[in-house]
Structure formats: structure tokens, C-alpha cells
Amino acid sequence: MKRIGLFGGSFDPIHQAHVDVALCAIEQLHLDEVQFIPTRHNPWKNKSLASAKERVEMIRIAIKNHPLLSINTIEIDSEDEQKNYTIHTIEKLIQQNPQVHYYYIMGMDQANAFDQWKKAKKISQLVQLIAFQRGGYKPHYSILDTYHFQLLNNQPVYASSSDVRNGHIEMLDQDVLRYISSQGLYLDTMVRSRMKEKRWKHTCSVAKLAKKIAKANQLNQKQAYIAGIMHDVAKEMDQKEAQKIMESYFPEYLSKPYPIWHQWLSRYVSEHEFLIDDPVVLKAIEDHTTASVGISPIGKCLYVADKLDPLRGYDSSQQIETCQKDIHQGFRDSLIDFYEFSKRKNREIDDCFYEIYDYYVVKGEK
């Protein structure tokens, strides 16, 4: 009889510990396969942040090098809008594959609360229940014995999807992280731990506005959003670390004022830590403070969104409206506003600005 492990969950997102547990179960339980079952409507959660399609794709990426791991979309494919209960999934699977012996895998946190599951006793009669060790959760043996749980001898798992969403990207497979970043998933909460609350709110506001302006100009909204959410990710980086990165990767800009280093540092973090490889997004981040002669339309969206963020405390609604009608005109207006403001306040202007001003304002280039 074939022995198949079932590993259900939201997988929002899947992380490396999920894969490690599945491989551990195969080895210790002598399973022929472990199937990941992403839920459509998790009874323990209100909603998933990533779509069903995105969560399935992340699982596919995470298990691509493991032939004994697979995805079962039985819950995702269900047309039932009600919460997915494990008992219903198991009954369907057994009906479809009566010759298979199933092992249902869950973390110790869920196993300790198994008596609260719908038709818990019946589930324990239909499948062999498996619990894996999770850091911070001691086994409740009275519950485990009642439902005949078998325990995996694994290193306690401390990782969680919520930890990943809160910035612990080291828990992810590199290709999964690359996918997450390319789709703009979870980035708002991932960057939150890297900055103070005020800057985080500004970051989210800029990303939202950049996306809005891009949409109005028939540009790529996703690129604008990702560039916006990442534009200040290195603004509060430790100065020693910042110095080291600038010396190694951007030595030609070391003479620039320290307050604007973050546009190059944020590009570095986006590319090397979050694995963003879209050149349009990376260039937009690099240009968001000083602009450049080669700034892209997406870069212009980010540049003006950063300057016109409503959270800055002044009425920028007219300028935003101009940017939505014509991003090129709105960008030129922002350059003019900066020039006039700096002259009025007697503030020093970087030499590179005059080249940019001449190109876009005086010559009127797009």
C-alpha cells in the first residue's frame, strides 16, 4: 500500500522549514511522497495575503528539486466558498484513492489544539496523525495520546510564515524570495522592521501614490509599487555598514552628501538582499532622490511620488493631478519646484541637478 504524507496549510508563504519537515517525514516514516495542500479558506485564519495562484507557485518553486514532494490542489480547486475543513479533504482523498495510507502532518501548536478540530476523532481514525516539533510548544501528551499522534524526531522549528512576512527573509528559499520580490508580495511588512514607524508610513504612502500615477499613465503599476516600497529601505542603515557598501559598490558617489546615499544603498539592499533583478525597478530606486538624465518613466513616477507624498503635510493634490495626466510634465514641474524652493531658501544644489534641469526643463526632453 502506498504511503503518502499530507501537509496542509496556508503557506503564505512557504519557507524552508516547511520543506525540511516534509523531507524529514519521508525519511523517518518511509513515505513514498509528501503532498503540500494549500488551503483555499483556512478555518483558523480570516484570509491569505497572497492569492491561491501565487501560493501554489511559491510551493512549486520551493520543492522543484525534490521529486518526492508535490502539490495537491484539492482545496484550492474546490468551488465551495465555505471554510476548508481537514475532515472533508481527507474523506475526498480516501474516496479517490482507497488504496493509499495517509499520514497527516502538522506542527505541535496545531497538534496541541487538535481536540478543537472539526470531527477530530474521525480524522484520527482515517489517517495516521503526525506532529513535528516546534520551538516554544511542549507536547500536550494527553491530547497526542488520545488521537494516536506519532512524533517526528526533528530539530524544533522556530520559523513561521508570519515571521517571514515581518522581515525574516533568511527563512526563504532564494528562488521563492526572488519570486516574492518580483511580484511585490509582503514587501510592505518585510521592510517595516528596517525603519521607524513614520518613515514606514511614508514608504507605504509613496508606493501607493507611485502605483496610482503609473496606472494613470498606462505604465507598469507593479514596477512602480515595488520601487516605491523599497526606495527608503536603507535610509536608516548603520553608518559604518553604509560606508562599507558605498566604498565597495558605489565609490564614485562617496563624495555626495550622506543624506542622499540611501538611494544607492536602497538599490543595493533591493538587489542583493531582496534579490530584485528588474533593472527598471533598481534604476528607479537609484534615481529617486537626485533623478538622472536617464531616468525612466517609472523612475519619474517614484521621484514625484516621493516629493508629493500627502503625508509630507502640504496640499500636493494639484501637482499629483498633473502627474496623473502627464508624468513627464509632472516630473518637469517637480524639478522646477525644487529649483525655485532651493533658491528661495538659499540651499546648495548639487552640480548634477543642473544637467538634469537643463535636459528636462530647458530643453524639454522626455
Sheet containing 128-132: order of strands: 69-71, 33-38, 2-9, 100-107, 128-132, 150-151
Q: Do domains 2-176 and 197-362 have the same CATH topology?
A: no
- Residue 173 is predicted with a pLDDT of 97
The DSSP output letter for 2 is E
What letter does residue 362 receive in the DSSP assignment? I
Q: How many CB atoms lie within 10 A of CB 223?
A: 24
Angle at 52 between CA 47 and CA 57, to 5 degrees: 135
pLDDT number for residue 33: 98
For residue 34, the Cα-to-chain-centroid distance in whole angstroms is: 26
* Fold exhibited by the domain 197-362: Hypothetical protein af1432 (1.10.3210)
Written out in words, the top-level CATH class of the domain with range 2-176 is alpha beta
Q: Where are the beta strands (DSSP E) in the chain?
A: 2-9, 33-38, 69-71, 100-107, 128-132, 150-151
Exposed (0-12), middle (13-18) or buried (19+): which is 67, by Cβ within 10 Å? exposed
pLDDT score at 44: 46
pLDDT for the residue numbered 351: 79
The full 3-state SS of 172-186, as one line of letters, equals: CCHHHHHHHHHHCCC
Phi/psi class of residue 143: alpha, beta or left (left: φ > 0; alpha: ψ in -120 to 50)? alpha
Q: Which three cell numbers stand for residue 115?
A: 481536540
Where along the chain do its domains lie? Answer: 2-176, 197-362
Residues 76 and 38: beta-carbon distance below 8 Å: yes
C-alpha–C-alpha distance, residues 358 and 341, integer Å: 17
Q: What is the distance between the terminal CA atoms of the chain, rounded to a whole angstrom? A: 68
CA neighbours within 13 Å on the CB side: how many for 188? Answer: 11
Closest CA to 94 of 130, 71, 129, 126: 126
Cα(104)–Cα(94) distance, rounded to whole angstroms? 12
Per-residue pLDDT of the chain (366 residues; tens, 9 = 90+): 899 999 999 999 999 999 999 999 999 999 999 999 999 865 445 566 899 999 999 999 999 999 999 999 999 998 766 677 899 999 999 999 999 999 999 999 999 999 999 999 999 999 999 999 999 999 999 999 999 999 999 999 999 999 999 999 999 999 999 999 999 999 999 999 999 999 999 999 999 999 999 999 999 999 999 999 999 999 999 999 999 999 999 999 999 999 999 999 999 999 999 999 999 999 999 999 999 999 999 999 999 999 999 999 889 999 999 999 999 999 999 999 988 888 888 887 877 888 998 999 988 776
